[in-house]
Amino acid sequence: MALTKVIGAGIGTVTNQFADANMSAGSVVQIIQASTTTEVASTSSSFVDSGVTAAITPSSTSSKIFILYTLHQFINGTGQTSDVKLLRGSTALLTTGYMLHNGGSTIIGQGTHHFLDSPSTTSATTYKVQFNSVDNSTNVLCNYDDSAGNGSSFITLMEIAQ
């Protein structure tokens, strides 16, 4: 929607018309993005932090947060799997079977997931991504730098007005 400046007398008083709270439903109020290239390795079947994290402070309790996250992983072992978990604070929102490796001895992969959350708060809210090594022995690396500069993982948070 384009904004137009009206010039002239008698148009009335415009007070706070373009505030976040006055955005129409479906409008993107704010976008936060974070990335990391710090490598994290694990052979544990317990979930560990990937280093992919970002915080957003919603402007309204009715806002939704649309989350996009891309995790760059390297798995060293045939037939092995890594799962990925999205959390809001310490609350798990989504766990996905992320990457299954069935051939050769290693695989490098990148996948993007999304989730629509209703945090119902105007307090700062942190989202983070964790991963594991399902078989509890395969070395899984996140944010793995493959020497071509492809090791970045990302998270994007978009506040959507309701």
Q: What is the 3-state secondary structure (H, E, C) of the chain?
A: CCCCCCCCCCCCCCCCCCCHHHCCCCCEEEEEEEEECCCEEECCCCCEEEEEEEEECCCCCCCEEEEEEEEEEEEECCCEEEEEEEEECCEEEEEEEEEEECCCCEEEEEEEEEEEECCCCCCCEEEEEEECCCCCCCEEEECCCCCCCCCCEEEEEEEECC
Quick check: is 55 in a domain?
A: yes
pTM exceeding 0.85:
no
Tell me if 12 is assigned to some domain: no
Q: Report yes or no on 103 lying in a domain.
A: yes
| Residue 45: inside a domain | yes
Any residues with CB less than 8 A from the CB of 1 and at least 6 apart, and which?
none
Domain of 138: which CATH number?
2.60.120.1340
- Predicted local confidence at residue 72, as pLDDT: 85
CB 21: neighbour CB atoms within 10 A?
Answer: 11
pLDDT by 10s per residue, the chain, length 162: 555 555 555 555 555 555 656 678 889 999 999 999 888 988 888 999 999 999 999 999 999 999 999 888 887 766 677 888 999 999 999 888 765 555 556 666 777 889 999 999 999 999 999 998 887 767 888 886 666 656 789 999 999 999
Q: Would 19 be classed as within a structural domain?
A: no
What are the residues whose beta carbons fall under 8 Å from the beta carbon of 94, sequence distance 6 or more? Answer: 85, 86, 113, 115
Domain count of the fold of the chain:
1
- Does the residue 13 lie in any domain? no
What residue numbers bound the domain in which 95 lies? 26-160
Tell me what pLDDT residue 161 has. 95
